[in-house]
Chain A
């Protein structure tokens, strides 16, 4: 039996399929609830996946995230609140179309083009991952060091707000990763005598805290009102008019697929960045740019396609190099390690059936999105009626259980609480969260490759540029850092300009 046939057998088991259906429903629910993100859906599912074989566990995570990204369009279109950050780019457009009575077209567009984007991204993943994995087999510690640093640099580069805050966020993640036994000499660092800290800051409670708990704290401190346009909308056949949209905007769809997947592949950038970039590109190259922002479907076609294609794209660096493409794959990498399927270039040699299973799951999850998404659109109004005052305490309880379950220790709950508060304060002060998480995930990898390289080169930093691939990666990373520095200098110059500067009064 070939690896592909084994993978088919693993995916099409009734247990895996039923878990995918459950995860799909969960992902749709979380994505459709304003304020709850796809990353949060993944983080909350992790404790459940501990107790499963690898393939159903991964199937759950893939299905839940794909559904959550699509479902983020629902509250965006009907109540003007993006369900997930990946839908934020076109929420205004979607809402204005709904106000014009075109909710049916908007929601259908969100569903159909999410599926198209998701399937395209899955195909790119299936075709590129094995080729890249073979190429990466020749990598040494120098290349891995630069690649991981490049990923972190991209996370700072693309984060919104001031670059210095992105840098601080990365540094915080890396600093958290230094807690525990040092990977080279085996010396315990920053453990303050705690036995539990010698194992380091547990990754899953940190994630749950920084994404899920911080989200709850943000909701608790924000004004709570939901405008109910949803109740006034009539939703018939949401697939009507989608073929016409596809033929009219086929070039947009192709461009959005390519750009979305490429952004997903880039370490550190995910679905939300893909949506913003493709929306901007759509407007830039549109024949009717003046219609953007007034309730025009074109930008939504582009961004709705791109955010789902980026989702699969983000798995390419995660599987091939062990470097997460976005915050969701950062969590997934943790799960893969727990399941003993260490991601990296050798995954194709040691676990080919597992890799094929992931490709099949991606395509299947996107196909499943059509019936499940249709159902979600139909029952969405009921989902919105669930009082957030009950939901938020329940999410906190799930956060507690999830953090406890990783080591069956209440210490994990403490980590979740501390990092939840840190994540909440960071975001309130303009520090992006994703770079901190990437820093925490990649910290040990960067340090061990850096120290190995330093020992190999006897401290000669020029050795980091001696191998061709390493030199290219090194130069590209340094260019990104130069860019970040320039952006910071520009931002400081702007903030010191006198207030009567006409550039500030716009």
Chain B
């Protein structure tokens, strides 16, 4: 996803403004001329300068480049759905992390994603993803002792 330089410049200027505004509220260090705000201020100045450079170069190059483009994506609509599935799926995974537990949520996520990427072959995706997720769960939870949540499967032993 390519964004026009001028837009990137404006975003950086906004970020610089936000950092400077927040840093202005940091208290000074007792007995010193500088405090926790110094470095954020310097970074905000850096963002502002870089933002101005990008804005200037974007404006100089004109509108030959669209504000946002999906250049090189092949079939943009289909790819957008894929990206939405990857990101939305991860958000849902985080939301249902404790309720569904790792094994169930990871299997659902991997199956849906693999099935979609394989052109809708969800049964074969489940056939491959379920054992893979089971192995990941087993290795991390049982061998490496990472407390992955088990959700409704709590109490089952493997």
CA distance A164 to B56 in the complex (A): 12
**Contact yes or no, B57 A175, CB < 8 A:** no
**Contact yes or no, B26 A393, CB < 8 A:** no
**Contact yes or no, B50 A393, CB < 8 A:** no
**Contact yes or no, A189 B109, CB < 8 A:** no
**Contact yes or no, B83 A398, CB < 8 A:** no
**Contact yes or no, B136 A397, CB < 8 A:** yes
Q: For the complex, is A421 an interface residue (Cβ under 8 Å from B)?
A: yes
> Contacts of B22 on A, CB cut-off 8 Å?
189-190
**Contact yes or no, B12 A495, CB < 8 A:** no
**Contact yes or no, A492 B128, CB < 8 A:** no
Q: How far is the CB of A224 from chain B (nearest CB, A)?
A: 8
The CB with the most chain B CB atoms within 10 A, among A48, A168, A217, A455, is that of A168
**Contact yes or no, B19 A401, CB < 8 A:** no
CA distance A302 to B114 in the complex (A): 40
Q: How far is the CB of A315 from chain B (nearest CB, A)?
A: 26
Q: For the complex, is A363 an interface residue (Cβ under 8 Å from B)?
A: no
CA distance A421 to B83 in the complex (A): 10
Q: How far is the CB of B39 from chain A (nearest CB, A)?
A: 5
Residues of chain B from 18 to 43 with CB closer than 8 A to chain A in the complex: 19, 22-23, 26-27, 29, 32-36, 38-40, 43
CA distance A455 to B74 in the complex (A): 55
> Contacts of A404 on B, CB cut-off 8 Å?
146, 148
> Contacts of A370 on B, CB cut-off 8 Å?
none
> Contacts of B110 on A, CB cut-off 8 Å?
393-394, 396-397
Majority SS at the chain B contact face: helix
Q: For the complex, is B113 an interface residue (Cβ under 8 Å from A)?
A: yes
**Contact yes or no, A185 B106, CB < 8 A:** no
Chain B 27-71: CB-based contact to A (< 8 A → 1; otherwise 0): 101001111101110010011001001101100110000000010
Among A185, A417, A447, A488, contact of B90 (Cβ-Cβ < 8 Å): A417
Q: For the complex, is B91 an interface residue (Cβ under 8 Å from A)?
A: yes
Q: For the complex, is A9 an interface residue (Cβ under 8 Å from B)?
A: no
The CB with the most chain B CB atoms within 10 A, among A164, A428, A492, is that of A164
**Contact yes or no, A396 B90, CB < 8 A:** yes
Q: For the complex, is A392 an interface residue (Cβ under 8 Å from B)?
A: yes
**Contact yes or no, A185 B97, CB < 8 A:** no
Q: How far is the CB of A109 from chain B (nearest CB, A)?
A: 32
Q: How many residues of A contact B (CB 8 A)?
A: 56
Stretch at the interface among A268-276, A284-292, A405-413, A462-470: A405-413
**Contact yes or no, A220 B83, CB < 8 A:** yes
**Contact yes or no, B34 A397, CB < 8 A:** no
**Contact yes or no, B2 A492, CB < 8 A:** no
> Contacts of B70 on A, CB cut-off 8 Å?
221
User: In the complex, what residue of chain A is closest to B135 when comparing beta carbons?
Assistant: A394
**Contact yes or no, B83 A185, CB < 8 A:** no
**Contact yes or no, A393 B109, CB < 8 A:** yes
The CB with the most chain B CB atoms within 10 A, among A174, A185, A187, A451, is that of A185
CA distance A450 to B34 in the complex (A): 11
Q: For the complex, is B155 an interface residue (Cβ under 8 Å from A)?
A: no
> Contacts of A417 on B, CB cut-off 8 Å?
87, 90-91, 94
Q: For the complex, is A111 an interface residue (Cβ under 8 Å from B)?
A: no
Given known contacts A428-B1, A492-B57, A421 and B144 CB-to-CB distance under 8 angstroms: no
**Contact yes or no, B148 A222, CB < 8 A:** no
> Contacts of A389 on B, CB cut-off 8 Å?
114, 117-118, 125
CA distance A369 to B94 in the complex (A): 39
> Contacts of A135 on B, CB cut-off 8 Å?
none
CA distance A178 to B145 in the complex (A): 32
Q: How far is the CB of B100 from chain A (nearest CB, A)?
A: 12
Q: How far is the CB of A403 from chain B (nearest CB, A)?
A: 10
**Contact yes or no, A429 B26, CB < 8 A:** no
Among B53, B106, B114, contact of A492 (Cβ-Cβ < 8 Å): B53
CA distance A417 to B90 in the complex (A): 7
Q: How far is the CB of B145 from chain A (nearest CB, A)?
A: 7
> Contacts of B60 on A, CB cut-off 8 Å?
492, 495-496
The CB with the most chain A CB atoms within 10 A, among B36, B73, B148, is that of B36
**Contact yes or no, B146 A397, CB < 8 A:** no
**Contact yes or no, A47 B144, CB < 8 A:** yes
Among B23, B61, B113, contact of A396 (Cβ-Cβ < 8 Å): B113
> Contacts of A401 on B, CB cut-off 8 Å?
102, 136, 140, 146, 148
Q: For the complex, is A184 an interface residue (Cβ under 8 Å from B)?
A: yes
User: In the complex, what residue of chain A is closest to B23 when comparing beta carbons?
Assistant: A189
**Contact yes or no, A447 B57, CB < 8 A:** no
CA distance A408 to B2 in the complex (A): 35
Q: For the complex, is B6 an interface residue (Cβ under 8 Å from A)?
A: no
- 15 A-B pairs with C-beta separation under 8 A: A47-B144, A164-B50, A164-B53, A184-B29, A184-B36, A185-B35, A187-B35, A221-B73, A394-B129, A397-B133, A414-B94, A425-B3, A429-B3, A459-B34, A496-B60
B interface list, Cβ under 8 A from A: 1-3, 8, 12, 15, 19, 22-23, 26-27, 29, 32-36, 38-40, 43, 46-47, 50, 53-54, 56-57, 60-61, 70, 72-74, 79, 82-83, 86-87, 90-91, 93-94, 97-98, 102, 106, 109-111, 113-114, 117-118, 125, 128-129, 132-133, 136, 140, 144-148
If A164-B57, A393-B109 are given as contacts, then 6 extra A-B residue pairs at C-beta distance below 8 Å, sorted by A number, are A223-B74, A392-B114, A393-B110, A393-B114, A396-B86, A400-B93
